[in-house]
Amino acid sequence: MSQNNVPANLATVEKLLQRIAVAERSQQKEVRITIQEARDLTTELSLLTTKLGSTIGEIHALLKELQKSSTEVDVKFDGGSF
């Protein structure tokens, strides 16, 4: 699966967060997930991590470009009327 295929919402992550919130409200000591939920969660987190790494790389490249352009001075000499 391509890193550009990160869904707009991460359904499995959202579902887990909701289950954790319910568990906290009811003072449960643990939350269990099925192996399929664990696989889905792993897939979503892998896609998210890959996309995040790619985005960070793009940000670093843009910062280097900005730093280079802000410190680089272009000087031109005109011979004038010599």
Specify whether the CB–CB gap between 31 and 19 falls below 8 A.
Answer: yes
Residue 74 has pLDDT above 80, yes or no: no
Q: What's the pLDDT band for 2 if we cut at 50, 70, 90?
A: very low
Q: Cβ neighbours of residue 45 under 8 Å, at least 6 residues apart?
A: 13
Q: What distance in Å separates the CA atoms of residue 26 and residue 18, rounded to the nearest whole number?
A: 12
Tens of pLDDT, residues 28-54: 999 999 999 999 999 999 999 999 999
Query: Half-sphere exposure of residue 27, counting CA atoms within 13 Å on the CB side?
Result: 0
Residue 79 has pLDDT above 80, yes or no: no
